[in-house]
Structure 1
Amino acid sequence: MHRPPTAEAEIAEELAVVRPALLPRYAAELPGARAAVLTRLWRALAHEPLPWLTGRLPGAYSLALRLADGRTLYGPPADPYATSAYVTAVRLGRERYDDPARLMTALGVEHADAFTAELAHSVASLALSRADADHPKEWPEQDWKWEQRVVDGHPFHPNCRSRPGFSVADQLAYGPEHGPVVELGTVPVPADGCLVSGDWPAELRSGDRLLVPVHPWQAAHVLARPHDAWRPARPLMSLRTLALPGGPHVKTALSARLTSSVRDISAYSVRAAAALSALADELAGRSGGLLHITRTLGAVTARSPDLAALLREAPEVYAGPGERVLPVAALATTSLPDSPGWLAEFTRLALTVGLRLLDLGVALEAHGQNLLVVLSADGTPVRLVYRDLADIRISPARLARHGITPPSLTGRLITDDELMLRRKLFGSLVAGALAGTAGSGPALGSALAAAVPRLPDTSDLAALRRGPLPAKALTLMRLSPGTPGDQWTSLPNPLVLERGPSDQ
C-alpha cells in the first residue's frame, strides 16, 4: 500500500531543491528533534488532565500511564520543568516509539489528527531550524540577534516549531533562527474605513489613505492582493513581529497557526492599545525603577484581523551604557543560568516585579518571549522590560484599591477573579519563563527557595508558596476543538514538593 510522504521526507525533498547543502545537517538533527518534541509531549501526557488517561503510576525509574482502553504507556519519570530532551523513546504495550507523531497515531484518541500532523511538522521544522543555526558564542549587540538564538521555540509546547502552511523556502525566508531580512510591504486602505489607536505616523499615510504594514507571507497567502514595498526588517521570536533598523518593532497580522493558535490582530486589541499603553506608564512608574513597559506607538486595523498592525517601542531603548536587553527565553543560550546565585537573583527580580504588578491589579503574561531582562556589563540582572500587552489581565478592584483609575475597557482582559489573575502570572512567569531558564525542577526549586524569603509577604505570594503551580494545558487545549479559551493543569510545586490533582 502506498503511504503518503512524512513531514520529514517532505521537508527533505523541498530542501534538496532550495538549499541542498543543508541536507546532511538536517538528517543528522532529526533524531534529536524527535526526542525534543517527544519530551514535550511526554510532559503533557504525564501532567495534563487528558480525559483518555485514567491513571498515573509513578515509580523510582519509570512512569506508567493507564489508558481508558486498557493499554499502558511506559516512559521515564517526568520532570515538568525540564528543557533537555531526556525522553528518547516510550513504550505502548510492547511497541517502542521514538517518534511523537507515530505515538499519537497509535494512541488513536479523539480530535488528534490535526495535532498529530502538527507534531510531525514540529519535528521536521525543528530539525531544519537546528541544521541552519550557526550563531557565534559572543553576546550580540542588537536585540534582534538575541531573538535569533532561540532556535527551539517554546520550551514546553509539543508544537514548539510547528509552522503548517510554511514551505521550506518560507521558513528560511521568514524564521528568525535562519537570520533573514524580511521586506515588509504596505497596503493602502481608506482612512475612514480604519480603526486607529494612538498616533499613526506620517510615513504610513498617503492623502486620505493609511498604509498598513503587511508581512509578505500574509500578503501572498491570505490577503491575495498587491502591496507596495516599504522597509526591510528583522523577524523576532514571534515571527510576525519584526524590528525595523533604528526604529520601532512592527507587529503584523500573520494568520498562520503557530504552536497552538492562529495569529491575527483583533479590533479589540487595536481599540485597547492606547488605554493599555497609558496604564503601562503608570504601572512602570510604581515599580521602583525595576520595570519598563514598551509603549504602543500606534495601532490600526482595516476592520479585519487579517489586515492590521501595531507599532511598538523597541526594548533596547531602555538599555543604559554597557547594558544589554534580551528576551528571557534567550538566557538559556548563555551560561548565566548555570550559576545558582545568578538564577536566584534573577528569580527574585522577576517575582518582585510580577507580584508587585499583580498586587496593583495587573497580571502579566510574562513568558520568555514577552519578558525581557536588562543585564549590566558583567551580566547582573538589573531591570525587566515587558512587551505586548495584548493578553494581560486587569483587575479594576485591585487598581482602585491603589488609587489607579481602571482603563475604560471591557472584555477578556478585565477580571477580578483571583484564580484567573494568579493563573495568568504564575503560569507564564513561574511555570514558563523561570522554569525555562532554570531548565529543571530541582534548579527551579532551589532558585525559588532562595528568592521567596526575600519577597514581600502578600496573599499572592502565599498562594504561590502553597502550590501546586498552574500551567496551561497546551496539549489538552489542542485536542479540545470545541472548548474555547485557556485550559489549565496543576504542576508539582518544586518549592513545596507537592503534587497537583492531575498527578495523582
Structure 2
Amino acid sequence: MFPSSSVETTLARESADVRPDLVTAYAAALPGARAAVLSRLWRALAHEPLPWIARREPVREGLVLRLTDGRRLHGPPADPYATGAYVTEVLLDGRGHDRAAALVEALGIPHGAAFAAELDNSTASLALSRAAQPHEAPAPESSWAWEQRVVDGHPYHPNCRSRPGFSAAEQLAYGPEHRPLVRLGLVPADEGVLRGEWPDWLWDGGRPLVPVHPWQTAHVLRRGAQEGPVAHPLMSLRTLALPDGGPHVKTAVSARLTSSVRDISVASVETALVVSQFAESVAARTGGLLHITRTLGAFSAHSPDLAAVVRESPESCAELAAGERVVPVAALPVTGLPASPAWLAAFTRLALTVGLCLLDLGVALEAHGQNLLVVLSPSGEPRRLVYRDLADIRVSPARLARHGIKAPEVADRMVTDEEAVLRRKLFGSLVAGALAAVAGGAPALGTALESAVRELPDGPDLAALREEPLPAKALTLMRLSPGRSGDQWTGLPNPLVPASAPWGQ
C-alpha cells in the first residue's frame, strides 16, 4: 500500500524500481519524516512574522495561533532551537494534520500551493534518505565523510530535504547522505571569466574545461560532456571533494534545493579571488583560531549555469597536528558531541570569540553549520575553526577603516555599514543556526551562551547579543514571498533574556 501523498507515492514507486530493497524501509521512515518536516513548519508558524497569523497564545496544552480569518491552530510548545521531530499533529479548528503539506493546503494561504509541493518533496526525500542509511559503517576519517553523515539536512527549514526535479534514482546517485561517488563532466569553454589558477586537469589544450555536475548536464545544459574525475558530494550536493585529500569543486546546479537555486553568478566568479585573499588576511588577525579555505580558481562561461569554483580542502588549510580532525559543525551531533555542557560551552566560546573578532574588524561571516567547521583534538576538544564558501559574507568599510584595513573591491551586495545587517548575518547563522542546532534546544543553548559570554570582551556587538532578540532568517516567510528578493528576518526569544521577544514577535 502506497503512502497518502502523490509525491510520497511517486518516490516510493521510483525507488522500488531502482532499489527494491528499500521499499519496506521507506514506508517505515515516512511517519518520522512527516514529523520532522511538520516540526520545522510548526517552529516557523510559532515564530515567524507571517501576515495571516493575528496572535499567538501560550496555553497549558501548548500553543494556540489565532489566524486573521478567525480560524485556530493548536500544537505543542514551540522551542525555536529544538531540532527533534516532536510535532506529530497540528489541529486546525479541531481537525488533525500529520503532514506539513496537507496543513498548508488546508490553510489556503497565498502562494501556499507551491510551498505545499515543496514540503511534500521534502518529506518524501527525507524518508528516502533515512531508509537508505547503512546499519553499520566505519568511523569517518575525513571532513567530507563526516558531513555525509548529516542525513536530515537543514535543522530548521521545512524544506530540509526538498529536491524538486530529482528522481529517486538521481537522489540515490547524487545525495551526499547516500554516500555515492559522482563522476563530474567536463565542458570546454571557448571564452569566459577566469580568476586565480585553473588546475592543469581542467585544460584541453588552450581551452579551459568547466567541471559540471551530471544533473546539470542532463537537465539544464542538455549537451554532452567529457568524462571527468569521480568525487564525493558534500552537504550542499553541488560541491564535491576530489579523492585523496584533493580540492573541493563547487559546481552549478540550477535547481531549488532547500531555498535557493544553486547556480554560480558571474559576479561571484569575478570577485572570488579578491574575496578569498581579503578573508584570509583578516582571519590572520584571530591569532590562529580561524582558517579560511582559499579559493584556488574560479571560472564562468558568462553564465550562472556553466561555472565552477575550485578551493582547497579544510584539511589542507587547517594545519593539522597529529591526531587532529576537521568536522563540519552540522555533523557534530552525529559524532557524539557535544559530550557534556562543558564541551558545548567551550565550543560556544571559541565560535563567539572568532565571530565577534571578525565582526569588530568589519567582516560578518555566514557561519552556519555547513560553512563552519571545527578542528578537534585527538580527545575531541574544540581547538580552531575553519570557514569555507565566502559568497555570502558581509563587509563593513567603516569598521575596516577603524582598524586601518582597506575595504576590498567586492560585489555591492556584500558591502554594508548597517549594524543591524552585520549582526543579523553573524548571529542569525552562528548563534540561532549553528550553535542552536548543536545544542538541540533553548535550555542547553542558554547555558552555553551564559558560560561563554562571561569570558568575552565587552563591546556593542556583545551587548546586542546579550540584550536583544536573536535574529533568524524567516525561512518559511521567504518561501511564501516569491515576489520579494533577499532575506527576511524574525526575532527569536533570546535564551539570555527569556522575556525579550515572546513567540518571535
8 Å contact 1:60–1:77 — kept in the other structure?
no
Give per-residue Cα distances to partners, 1:410-459, cap 9 Å, x unaligned: 41011111100000000000000000000000010000011110111111
Q: For residue 67 of structure 1, what is the aligned residue in structure 2?
A: 67
Deviation at 1:502, TM superposition (A): 5.7
Could you tell me the percent identity over the aligned residues? 67
Could you say what secondary structure the match of 1:173 adopts? helix
Match of 2:215 among 214, 217, 220: 217
* Whole-Å separation in 1 of the counterparts to 2:52 and 2:111: 12
- 1-structure distance, mates of 2:83, 2:4: 32
Report the equivalent of 1:110. Answer: 110
Contact 2:192 2:299 in 1 (8 A): yes
Aligned mates of 1:212, 1:138 — CA distance in 2 = 34
Contact 1:284 1:293 in 2 (8 A): yes
Preserved contact between residue 56 and residue 503 of structure 1 (Cα < 8 Å): no
Tell me if 1:95 matches 2:95. Answer: yes
| 2:145 alignment counterpart | 145
Contact 1:144 1:234 in 2 (8 A): yes
2: CA distance between counterparts of 1:4 and 1:124?
11
4+ residue segments displaced more than 3 Å: 135-139, 501-504
Question: Is the contact between residue 135 and residue 149 of structure 1 (CA under 8 Å) also seen in structure 2?
Answer: no
After TM superposition, give the deviation of residue 220 of structure 1 in Å.
0.5
1:492 is aligned to 2:493 = yes
Asked whether the 8 Å contact 2:22–2:132 carries over to 1, the reply is: yes
> 2 CA distance for matches of 1:477 and 1:262?
14
Structure-2 residue corresponding to 1:203 = 201
Letter of the 2:311 counterpart:
R
Matching residue of 1:187: 187
Counterpart of 2:377 in structure 1 is: 376
Partner of 1:235: 233
In the other structure, the counterpart of 1:40 is 40
Match of 1:447 in 2: 448
Q: TM-score, normalised by structure 2?
A: 0.97
| TM-align CA RMSD | 1.3
Distance 1:50 1:271 in 2: 37
Instruction: Kindly provide the amino acid, as one letter, of the partner of residue 310 in structure 2.
Output: L
Q: Does 1:419 align with 2:420?
A: yes
Indicate the residue corresponding to 2:128 in structure 1: 128
Give the structure 1 partner of residue 326 of structure 2. 325
Do the aligned partners of 1:150 and 1:333 also contact (CA within 8 Å) in 2?
yes
Question: Whole-Å Cα distance in 2 between the matches of residues 138 and 213 of structure 1?
Answer: 30
CA contact (8 A) 2:38 2:88 kept: yes
Out of 23-32 and 272-281, give the one that drifted further: 272-281
Written as runs of structure 1 = structure 2, the 5 A alignment for 1:358-397 is 358-397=359-398
Q: CA deviation at 1:501?
A: 6.8
Q: How many residue pairs end up in the alignment?
A: 500
- Structure 1 residue 199: Cα displacement: 1.1
Tell me how far apart the structure 1 counterparts of residues 234 and 4 of structure 2 sit (CA, whole Å).
34
Amino acid at match of 1:474: L
User: Given the alignment of the two structures, is residue 315 of structure 1 paired with residue 314 of structure 2, yes or no?
Assistant: yes
Matched residue, 2:58: 58
Q: What residue identity is the alignment partner of 1:205?
A: W
- Paired with 1:13 and 1:93, the residues of 2 have a C-alpha distance of 34
Is residue 253 of structure 2 the alignment partner of residue 254 of structure 1?
A: yes
Q: How many Å separate the matches in 2 of 1:402 and 1:275?
A: 19
Shift of 1:42: 0.2
Task: Give the drift of 1:140.
Answer: 1.1
2:170 counterpart residue number: 170
> CA offset at residue 499 of structure 1?
3.7
Asked if residue 272 in structure 1 is aligned to residue 234 in structure 2, the reply is no
Corresponding residue for 2:299?
Answer: 300
State the secondary structure of the residue aligned to 1:277. helix
* Amino acid aligned to 2:409: S
TM-superposed CA distance for 1:272, in Å, is 1.1
How far apart are residue 334 of structure 1 and its match? 2.4
**How far did 1:136 drift?**
4.3
Provide the C-alpha distance between the structure 1 equivalents of 2:281 and 2:21, rounded to a whole number of angstroms: 52
> Which residue identity lines up with residue 295 of structure 2 in the other structure?
T
Matching residue's letter, 1:267: V
Post-superposition offset of 1:68: 1.1
Query: Helix, strand or coil: the match of 2:230?
Result: strand
Moved more, 345-354 or 270-279: 270-279
Which ranges of structure 2 fall in alignment gaps of 5 or more residues? none
Distance in 2 separating the partners of 1:135 and 1:51:
44
Does the aligned pair in 1 maintain the 2:29–2:127 contact within 8 Å? yes
- The corresponding residue for 2:289 is 290
Contact 2:275 2:410 in 1 (8 A): no
Q: Could you tell me how far apart the structure 2 residues matched to 1:434 and 1:138 are?
A: 27
TM-score norm. by structure 1 comes to 0.97
Whole-Å Cα distance in 2 between the matches of residues 81 and 403 of structure 1?
38
**Counterpart Cα distance in 1 of 2:116 and 2:261:** 17
Shift of 1:204: 1.1
The 2-side partners of 1:90 and 1:338 are apart by 33
Corresponding residue for residue 340 of structure 1: 341
Amino acid at match of 1:292: H
How much does 1:293 deviate? 0.5
Cα displacement string for residues 395-416 of structure 1 (whole angstroms, at most 9, x for unaligned residues): 0111111111111224101111
**Counterpart residue type for residue 493 of structure 1:** N
Q: Read off the aligned partner of 2:334 and give its amino acid letter.
A: T
- Contact persistence 2:271–2:411 (CA under 8 A): no
Q: CA deviation at 1:203?
A: 1.9
Q: 1:66-91, CA deviations, whole angstroms, 9 ceiling, x for partnerless residues?
A: 11111000001100000011111110
Give the drift of 1:135: 6.4
Contact 1:250-1:310 at 8 Å conserved across structures = yes
Give me the whole-angstrom Cα distance separating, in 1, the residues matched to 2:260 and 2:172: 21
Q: Which moved more, 1:269-278 or 1:492-501?
A: 492-501
Which residue of structure 2 lines up, in the alignment, with residue 20 of structure 1? Answer: 20
Q: State the alpha-carbon separation in 1 of the partners of residues 15 and 251 from structure 2.
A: 27
Residue type at the aligned position of 2:365? L
